[in-house]
Structure 1
Amino acid sequence: MRRMKLHTAGLLLLFLAAFGLEQAVAQQKPGYANSWINYGKPYVKIGVIKKGLHKITMTSLPKEFSSAAVDKLQLWHRGKQVSIISANSSEIVFFGVPNDGSSDSLLYRPMSSRMNPYFSMYSDESSYFLTIGDTAGLRAKATSEPVNVNAAALPSHDEKVTTVFQTDYSLSTVSPVRPNFFNSFFEIGASRTGKIVLSGVMHNNEFTLKNLVGGVENAKIKLLVHGRSNNDRSIEVYVGKNATSLRLVGTIRNSGFGGSEYTFNIKPGDVDDAKKGVLGLKSITTERSERFSLAYYDVSYPQAFDMTGLTGKEFNLKPAKTGFNRVQVKGLPAKSTLLDISNVDTPVVVNGSGENYMVNGTQGKNVRFYASNEITTVAAAKIKPLNLEVIEPKQPNYIIITTQGLMQGANQYAAYRSSADGGGFKTIILNVADLYDQFNYGEPSPLGIRNFMAYMLGEGGKTDKHLFLIGKSITHNERMTRELPDEVPTIGYPASDVLLVEGLAGTAAEIPAIPVGRLSAISNQNVLDYLTKVKEYEHNAIGDYGWRKNFLHLNGGKNTGEITQLKEFLSDLEPTVANGVVGGKVIPFVKQQPIAEVESVNITAEVNAGAGLITYFGHGSATVTDLDMGYITDVKRGYNNFGKYPMMYFNGCGVGNIFAGRFNPNPNATSDRITLSLDWLLAKDRGSVAIIANSYESFVSPSAQYLEQLYKNMFAVPSTVNFSIGKIQIAVAEAIISKTKDKYAVANIHQSLLQGDPALKLVTVSNPDYAVNSEQSISLYSESGNKTIDQSDSVRVAVVLENKGRFVADQSITVDVAYVGNSTVTKSVVVKSFPARDTIMVSFANRRDLDKITVNIDPKHLVKEMDLSNNLAEMDINWDMVKDMNFFSSANNRDVVPPMLHVRFNGTLPKDNEQLNPNPTINITLRDDRQLFADTDLVEVYLKRCPDSSCEFEKLSYTAAGISVDSLDNYSFRINYPTTGLVAGEYELLVNAKDRAGNFCTQPYQISFRILEAGDAGIKLVASPNPATTFVRFELSDVSVSGPIVIKYSIYSLTGALVEEKEFRDTAGSRKLDWYWNPSSSFAAGLFTYKVVVSGQDGQTLRQLTGKVVVTK
C-alpha cells in the first residue's frame, strides 16, 4: 500500500493512453489477424532467428508437401505472402528475417512510445508459414539488366553499425530505485537497456568508421538513453579520439525513467587516423540517486562496398535519380546471391557479373540489398506441421486458454463447466500456441490472446462470455524467458489480465469487455485441486451456507495514523455487509503495534469455522502482509477450512503479483518462494476459491474507492448482486470510470487481478436459509429472576433464529413454537425477514409437565429457502433437573471445550532435541470431555525432515503398515504410529487434532528430535543427585538399540563389598531409562561405586558403565 501522490501530468498521460488504445483497436478490426489463413489447407510453421537466406529440404516436410505441385507452394509472413527465392522437388529457398518486435507497439501508449527498434519484448523468432495454395505461389523476380562496365560504380552506401545493450530493464524491476508510478501498458520508451551509470561517471563506448568513404563530417551517431531514477537530469554527450581527448557535443535533457533519443554529427577531429573514436556519456545531475543507462547507439557513415572476410552483408543506397546503378562489391564471396530487399516480403534477385551488379534505384526511395554466399538449412526442430481450424466465435460463452502441458486439467475443468452442475456453459479450450499461430502470425505475445478475443467478441458478441486463463505468466522482465514457453501471457509490468480484453468490441476504454480470471497453475494437479474446491463451493459440500456470512476485516499500517485510517475505512463498509443481501457479520482484526515491522495475527479459528470474505487493507508484498495471516499451507498455523473456502481481497503492494516467477513451495526460499495469494488459491482442500489483489503497488484512495464499489455491487446494488465475480469487476470499473479517469484509478482497475474462475458467484446465495439450532437456539426462562421455573405460573421460551442465506426484505415468516407435555400447545409467531439473526419470545402457561420445546420455521413451506432441513429444532427437558432453575438453555450442551493432545515416543515423554533410536513409534493420545470415537480424521501428523526452513512439513499417511488406532474409553483413543525409513539426522514433528465438534486443541504439539545411526552404542549414564542422601536416580540415555535389552546394576562399598544388585528388562527398547537406588539406613555415609551392564536380548554386552557416588547422612 502506498499513499496517494498527485501529479499534474495525469490528464495528458490519460489522453495519450486513450489515443494509443484507439490506434491499437483500429488495427484489430476485421479482417482480424487471421484473415490470411485459408482454412482447410495444410500449413507448416518455420522458425527463423537470423536474417538471410534459408533452405527447407522437401524431405523435412510432410508428404503432402513433397507430392504437391511445386508452383502451388506459398509462403506467408505476418499475414502477407512472401516471394520464394526458388523451389524445386528437393528444396525451397527463401529470404527470412527474425522477429523485430514491431508489433509490440500495440501494447504501448501511445504506440510511438516504443522507441527501441532493436528489442522485441517477448520473442526473437519470426514465423513463416508454408502452405499449398489453389493458385501459384509468389516467386522472387530477377533483374536482367546487363552490367554496364562503363557506368561509374557507386562510391559508397550508407552503413549503419548498431551496438545494443540488453542487460537491464529500463523500468528497473529488480532495483529499489524505480518509478513512483507504474501503468501496466508499456510507455516512456520501456525496453531492455544497458547497465546503470551513476552521476559524474563517464560512460565510454568505442566505435570505428571501417572503410569510410569521404570525410568524417558525413558520419553521425544516434543513441537512446533511459533515465533510471525519479529526477530530472542533464546528460552530457562527448566524442573524441580516445577517453582523454573528448569534446562536449551537447546535453540531453531527460526526466524520470523516460527514454530520450539524441543525434549528432562527427567532426574530423573526433577520430584518429584509424578512424576510431570514443562516445562518452556523463550525467552532471547531482541528485543522490541519479542514474541512467544507454540502450543503443547507431553509427552511420558512407562506407565502401567491401565484403572482405564476410559471408553476408546488407547495403543501403540513397534514392537514385536514374534507373540502374552499378555496384561493385569488393571481396564478394564466390557463389553469392544478391537480393534487393527494399521490401523484405518481395525480394528481387539481382543478377550480375563477378563483383559487379546493376541495382535498380527508385526515385525518392532508399534501396536495400543483401549479399551472401551462405544459406541456412532450417533445422527439423524449427519445422512444425499445423492443423489450423476455424474457431467458431458465436457459440462459446466460456473460453479457456491454456498451455499444452495443462490441457488435461483444462479439459476436466471445461467438462464440469459444460455440465448442468457446472452451469451448462458452452465451453471452448484453446491452446495458447494455436492462438499465436492464428492471431499473431506465430509470434509468442499477449497480442495473440488480445487479437483472438477481439475476433471472438467482434464476430460472436460479448454477452455472457467469460475468459478463464489457466497457466502461469512471467512479466518480471529480468526473469522472462524468450518465446514464453509454457506460459499464458498477460500484458505488461505490472501485469494486467484486464488489458487482454479492455476496450474490445465497442467497450469503453479502460473497461474489460468480458470477465477474465486466471488460475496460475504450474501442474495439472493444481487445476484438479482447484476444480474440486469450485465444485465443493458451488454445491455446498458441507451442507451449510451460514459460514459465508462471516466476514474478516484485517488492517495493517506503519503508524497510528495509518492504522486508524484503514480501520475506519473498513468499519465504514460494515453496514453494507450487515444490511445488504448477505446480511453478514464482520470480525475485525487490527494491527496493535504502530511500527513498520510485520505483526503476526491468528485468524485460524475464524478461517476454520468458515469465512465468506477475508478483506485485508494495509501494506504488503508478494509473500507477506504487515498484519501477517501467514500461508494457508503453513502447518504450524493449523489452517483446516475444508469446504469453507473464502473469497479474499487484498489491498497491499504486490500481494497479487503472481508474475515474478515465484513458484517454489519451499518456505526457506527467498527470491522465488510461491506468493502468499497463490499459496491460498492453489492449496488442496483448504485456502481460498477466488482472490482479488493488486499485481503491483496499491494506493489508499483508488483502492478504497475500488473496495467500496466492490462491496456495493456484491451486496447492495440490486442489478449486480446476482452477477458472477468477473461481471462484478466490470460493474466496479464502470462505476469508477464514470466518475474519474485519474491515472491512479485507471491503473488500479487494470491491476486488480482476479485469481480464480470469473464465472463464480461468490459469498451471496440465491435465497434465504432460515435456521434454528437444537444445540444453541432455544432457552427456557422463569417468569422473573427471583422465581424458579417451578414457582412460575408461566414460562417464557426464547428462540434465536438465523438466516444463513440471502436477506430478502419484506418477507414474513411464520414460526411455530410448541410446549410439549401431557398435551401439546403450539403458538405461531410471524416475524419480518432479517439479515442474519433475530430472537423471538413466546410465553406458555406453566403446567409443570414440560418434556420438550419444539420449533418449526415456516411449517407450510411458503418461503423458498436454500435448505429446509434446518427449519426444525427441539430441546428436551428433564423437569426434575430444571424446575429449581430460573434459566435453562440448549446452549448449555454446546461443545466448546478443545480436546487434550498427548504425544510420546516409544511410550516415553521426550524432551525437545532428544536423540532417538531408529524407527521410533509415535504414540498419540487424544482425550475430550465428550464422547470420542477412534478416528484418524481427527488427528493430523506432519514430519519435517530437516532442522531448519530448508524443507517443508509433509503430512504423514495412515496407510502405512503397523499403525494401530484403539479406543481407550468413551472419551479417548490412541494412535500408535511406527515410523520406518527415518535415516540418521534431525527432524521436527507437528501434530494437530480436533474433537467431533471441530474444536482444535489449544495449540499443536511440536518437537524437534534426532535419529541416531543404527547400532550406535553411545549409551550415557547419569547418577543424580551426587552427593545424595536418601536416593540416587540412575538415568540411561541414547540407548539406540532396537529390541529388548537387559540392564544389570551393582552397587559396591568403598571396601568392595556388594551392597545391592538388581537386573531388569526393558521390553519396549526405549531410548531412555531410569531407576532409583535407596541407600539403606544401615549404610554408613561414604563413597560407593556402581557398575551398569547393558546387554542385548542375545546376552551380548552392549555397554558397561561405571562411576562413583557419595552418600551423606
Structure 2
Amino acid sequence: MLNYLNKIKEHEALGNEAWRKNALHMAGGEDKAQQAQFQAYMHKYKKRLEAPLFGGKVVRTITRTLEGDYQRYPVYVNIAPELNAGLSLITYFGHGAPTVFDLNLGNPNDPVNNYNNKGKYPVFIINGCAAGQAFSASPTSVGEIWTLAPERGAIGFLADSDFGYEHQLDFYCDNLYKALFNDPAWYGKPIPVVFREVARQVLEQFPGDPHAISLAMNTIWQGDPTLSLYAPDKPDYATDDTRLEVAPVAGQTKVQATSPAFLLKIGASNLGKLTRDSLHISITREYPSANGRANDVITRVFPPLSRDSVLTVEIANTGNVFGQSRFTVQLDYAGKVDELNESNNQASLTYNFLQGGVTILSPVEFAIVPSNSVHLVAQNNDPLAAPRAFEFELDTVPTFNSPAVQRTSVTASVAPDWRPTLSGAAKDSVVYYWRLRFKDPQADEIQEWAASSFRVIENSPQGWSQSHYGQFARNEAQGLRVTTPASEWKFEEIKKTLALRAGGGGALPVMELRLTPCLEFRWRMSLPIMLTVVQARQIF
C-alpha cells in the first residue's frame, strides 16, 4: 500500500502536462464480427473523449485480429512507447478474466516490457468479464499487479467482477465517457462518484435485468475513492518556436523570395479545457531593415482548438522580401479567453527568403585582396540542390567586354568556386569585376548575374576600397557624378536666376555676390542695364 500512496502523491502534484490528455484504446473479440463490433464501440468512445469538455486524444487503438478463444490463444502487446510518454486513460473492451484478456499488456514489473512510466500513471477502464475480481489470494489479478506496482503501472482500475454482456457494457461505458468528458455536471468529479451516477442510468435503462443489476453492483474500483481524471477548468493554448514551419503552397517545391505566396504552419495545442470559443491568432512579419518595409500584421480566426492541431495560414509574398524575415505568432492575441497559463501563447521563427539564384561569398564586395592568387567562391541559394553548371566571368571593366575578359563553367551543388589567373598581375591596385549565374536557370530562379568586385594591392592588409568608376555605380550621388572610363569626379551644372535692380550713373565697380553658401560670383553692371559675369567659382 505504501507503493500506491507514493504514486498518489506524485499524481496529485501534477500540473497541466500535455500527456494528461492522452488515452489508449484496446478492442478484442473472438471472431471477425465481434472484433468489428467492439472496434465500433471504441470509435464511439473516442469521439466522446476528443469532444468538449475534455478534448483529449486517443494516441493509439490496438485491435485483436486473431480469431479464437482468448484463454487458448492470448495475444500480447507492448505499449511502452505510449505508456512511458504518458497516458491518463487505458480503456479495453473485450473478453476477460481476472488474469487474462483478449489483449494482454504483460506485467509492468517485468523489465522485459520496458514499462518506465514513473509519475505518469493511467486509469484503466476494463469492459469484460470478471476483470475486477480482486478477492483471491492467488493468482494475483491484472488490476492488483498494475495498481500496486512501485513507481510504474496504474493509479486506478475500474472493472466488473462478474459476467458482462456487450450491449450493457457498451451502454455503461458510453455513458461513463459522456459523464467524465462531456457533461459539465460530472466533469472533474471523482471516478467512483461518476460511476455511481452511471450505475443509476444502467439500472434505469435495463429495469429488473439481473445482468444489469450485477454490472451496477459488482463493478469494482481499485484505487483512491477521491481520484479524478484530469479535468482542467480553463483552456490553455500553447505553442513554441519548434512548432512553426514555412512550407510551399500547392504546386511549389520550395519557398524563396520569388515565391508569390507560402504557408506558415503553426503547431498549437490546448492543454486545458476544450470550449466552444474560437481561437484568434496574430502573425507579425518583420522584414530586414535594409528592405525599408514596415512590419506586416496578419490576423486569423480558427475553430475551437482541441488537443493538438496544425493551423495553416497562407501568406502573400510580394515586394522586396529578400533576406531574413522573422515571424512572431501570438495565440489568443487579444486575450479574449481566460486561460490556465497565458505565458505559453507565443512562438517565433526566422526564415531566410533567398533569391532562388546564387550569392557571392568571397571575396566580399569592394574587398582588398593582398595577392594575385584569388579564390572566387559563391553559393547556390538552395542548400539541398543537386550538382549543376554555373557560369563565371572575370574582367577589369564592369561591362565584361574587354580583351582581358575570362569565362569558365564549373559544376557544383552548393558552393561553386574558381581560381582564375589574373590578367593584370604585373600591375598594382587593379580592380577586377566578377560575376556568376546558373548556366541553365529554371523557371522559378533568378536569371540575372550575381556580380561583385575587388581590388588587388600586393602585400596590403585586407580592407575595403572603391577606386574604379564601375564600383561607384551602386552609390547614391547628389550634385556630382563619375565619368567613364576616366573615373573623374564632376560636379553637376548649377543654374540660378538673378533679379537685380540698380540706379544712378557713372563708373560702376565690379561687385561680388554669393547666391548659395558654395557659389560665388563677381559681376559688373553698366547702363543701359547689363549684367556681365566676369568670374564664377565653386567654394567650400
Aligned residue in 2 for 1:642: 118
Q: Secondary structure at 1:775's aligned position in 2?
A: helix
User: 1:191-202 to 2 correspondence within 5 Å?
Assistant: none
1:601 equivalent in structure 2 = 77
Alignment of 1:261-272 (within 5 A): none
Q: 2:135 corresponds to which residue?
A: 659
Match among 315, 337, 353 for residue 863 of structure 1: 337
- Trace 1:113-124 onto structure 2 (pairs within 5 A): none
Contact 2:155 2:223 in 1 (8 A): yes
Q: Post-superposition shift, 1:649? A: 0.4
Residues in 1 aligned to 2:356 and 2:63: alpha-carbon distance in whole angstroms: 42
Decide whether the 8 Å contact of 1:530 with 1:681 is kept in 2. Answer: no
- The aligned residue for residue 167 of structure 2 is 701
1:875 to 332, 349, 364: 349
Q: Distance in 1 between matches of 2:252 and 2:382?
A: 10
Task: State which of 252, 267, 278 in structure 2 corresponds to 1:785.
Answer: 252
Q: CA RMSD in A?
A: 2.6
Structure 1 partner of 2:39: 567
Q: Which residue of 1 aligns with 2:450?
A: none
Alpha-carbon shift at residue 787 of structure 1 (Å) = 6.1
What CA deviation, in whole Å up to 9, does each residue of 1:710-752 have, x standing for no partner? Answer: 0111122232223221221121012122222311111101111
Aligned to 2:268: 801
1:774 aligns with 2:241: yes
Q: Tell me the residue number matched to 1:841.
A: 313
Matched to 2:120, the amino acid is K
Matched residue type, 2:306: P
Aligned to 2:327: 853
- 1:556 is matched with which residue? 28
Contact 1:724 1:759 in 2 (8 A): yes
- 2:178 corresponds in structure 1 to 712
| 2:22 partner letter | N
What does 1:181-192 correspond to in 2, within 5 Å?
A: none
Relative distance call for 1:727 and 1:781 in structure 2 (3 A) is same
In 1, the alpha carbon distance for the partners of 2:179 and 2:355 equals 52
Name the aligned partner's letter for residue 555 of structure 1.
Answer: A
Aligned identity (percent) is: 27
- Does the aligned pair in 1 maintain the 2:49–2:181 contact within 8 Å? yes
Cα distance in 2 for partners of 1:762, 1:554 equals: 19
| Structure 1 segment 63-142 matched on structure 2, within 5 A | none
In structure 2, the partner of 1:737 is 203
Contact 1:782 1:886 in 2 (8 A): no
Say whether residues 1:629 and 2:100 are aligned partners: no
2:234 and 2:340 in contact (8 A); partners too: yes
TM-aligned CA deviation for residue 762 of structure 1: 0.4
* Shift in alpha-carbon separation, 1:752–1:560, aligned structure 2, 3 A: same
> Are 2:308 and 1:832 equivalent residues in the alignment?
no
In the superposition, the TM-score normalised over structure 1's length comes to 0.30
Whether the 8 Å contact between 1:788 and 1:885 is mirrored in structure 2 is: no
**Within 2, Cα distance between the matches of 1:686 and 1:879?**
49
Task: Give the conservation status (yes or no) of the 8 Å contact 2:203–2:216.
Answer: no
Q: Are the equivalent residues in 2 in contact too, given 1:620–1:626 (CA < 8 A)?
A: yes
Report how far residue 885 of structure 1 moved.
6.0
Residues 806 and 728 of structure 1: is their aligned pair in 2 closer, same or farther, counting only changes over 3 Å?
same
Partners of 1:763 and 1:647 in 2: how far apart?
10
Distance (whole Å) between structure 1 residues aligned to residue 6 and residue 56 of structure 2: 28
Distance between the aligned counterparts of 1:647 and 1:838, measured in 2?
A: 29
Q: 1:783–1:793: 8 Å Cα contact kept in structure 2? A: no
How big is each residue's C-alpha offset from its partner over 1:1024-1049, in whole Å with a ceiling of 9 and x where there is no partner? Answer: xxxxxxxxxxxxxxxxxxxxxxxxxx
Against the structure 1 CA distance between its residues 527 and 613, is the aligned structure 2 distance closer, same or farther, given a 3 Å change threshold?
A: closer
Task: Report if the CA contact (8 A) 2:323-2:354 is conserved.
Answer: no
Decide whether aligned partners of structure 1 residues 735 and 641 sit closer, same or farther in structure 2, where only a CA change above 3 A counts: same
The one-letter code of the counterpart of 2:10 is K
Amino acid aligned to 2:135: F
The answer on 1:528 being equivalent to 2:1 is no
SS at match of 1:850: strand
Shift of 1:689: 1.9
Provide Cα deviations, 1:747-804, integer angstroms capped at 9, x if missing partner.
1011111122222220332111212232234333358516642321343312232222
How far is the alpha carbon of 1:849 from its aligned partner? Answer: 2.4
Q: Partner residue of 2:278?
A: 812
Q: Please report how far the alpha carbon of residue 843 of structure 1 lies from its aligned counterpart in structure 2 after TM superposition.
A: 0.9
CA deviation string 1:326-368 (max 9, x = no partner): xxxxxxxxxxxxxxxxxxxxxxxxxxxxxxxxxxxxxxxxxxx
Aligned CA distance change for structure 1 residues 621 and 803 (closer, same or farther; 3 Å): same
Partners of 1:784 and 1:816 in 2: CA distance: 26
Across the two proteins, how many residue pairs are aligned to each other?
348
Q: Is 1:724 aligned to residue 190 of structure 2? A: yes
**CA distance 1:856–1:699, change in 2 (3 Å):** same
Secondary structure in 2 matching 1:567: helix
What is the Cα deviation at residue 636 of structure 1?
0.9
AA partner of residue 617 (structure 1): F
Q: Say if 1:676 and 1:595 are closer, same or farther in 2 by CA, change over 3 A.
A: same
Q: How does 1:191-270 map to 2 (within 5 A)?
A: none
Check if 1:752 corresponds to 2:219. Answer: yes
Deviations 1:255-277 (A, max 9, x none): xxxxxxxxxxxxxxxxxxxxxxx
Question: How do 1:888-1037 and structure 2 match up within 5 A?
Answer: none
Partner of 2:231: 764
Deviation track 1:298-326 (CA, whole Å, cap 9, x = no partner) reads xxxxxxxxxxxxxxxxxxxxxxxxxxxxx
How far residue 673 of structure 1 moved from its aligned partner, in angstroms, is: 4.2
In structure 2, runs of 5+ residues without a counterpart are: 290-294, 358-380, 385-540
TM-score (norm 2): 0.59
Secondary structure in 1 matching 2:235: coil
Q: CA deviation at 1:842?
A: 4.1
Q: 2 CA distance for matches of 1:721 and 1:621?
A: 30
Contact 1:554 1:617 in 2 (8 A): yes
CA offset at residue 625 of structure 1?
Answer: 1.8
**Corresponding letter in the other structure for 1:570:** M
Residues 850 and 644 of structure 1: CA distance in aligned 2, closer, same or farther (over 3 Å): same
Off by >6 Å, runs of 4+ in structure 1:
none
**Alpha-carbon shift at residue 869 of structure 1 (Å):** 3.6
Q: Distance in 2 between matches of 1:686 and 1:865?
A: 31
Aligned to 2:419: none
Mapped to 1, the partners of 2:229 and 2:312 lie a distance apart of: 31
Query: C-alpha distance in 1, partners of 2:239/2:7?
Result: 33
Question: Is residue 783–residue 792 contact of structure 1 (8 Å, CA) maintained in 2?
Answer: no
Deviation, structure 1 residue 557: 1.9
Q: Contact conserved, 1:529 with 1:683, CA < 8 A, in 2?
A: no
State the 1:533 CA deviation. Answer: 3.2
Q: C-alpha displacement at 1:656, in angstroms?
A: 1.6
Match of 1:588 in 2: 61
In structure 1, C-alpha distance between the alignment counterparts of 2:135 and 2:345, rounded to whole Å: 48
Change (3 A) 1:790 1:646: same
Residue type of the partner of 2:146? W
Query: Which amino acid in 2 is paired with 1:795?
Result: F
Change beyond 3 A, Cα 1:779–1:611: farther
State the alpha-carbon separation in 1 of the partners of residues 128 and 383 from structure 2.
52
1:744 and 1:874 map into 2 onto residues whose CA distance is: 58
Deviation of 1:878 after TM superposition, in Å, equals 4.5
C-alpha displacement of 1:547:
1.9
782 and 886 in structure 1: CA distance in 2 versus 1, 3 angstrom threshold = farther
Alpha-carbon shift at residue 592 of structure 1 (Å): 1.9
* Structure 1 contact 598–626 (Cα < 8 Å) conserved: yes
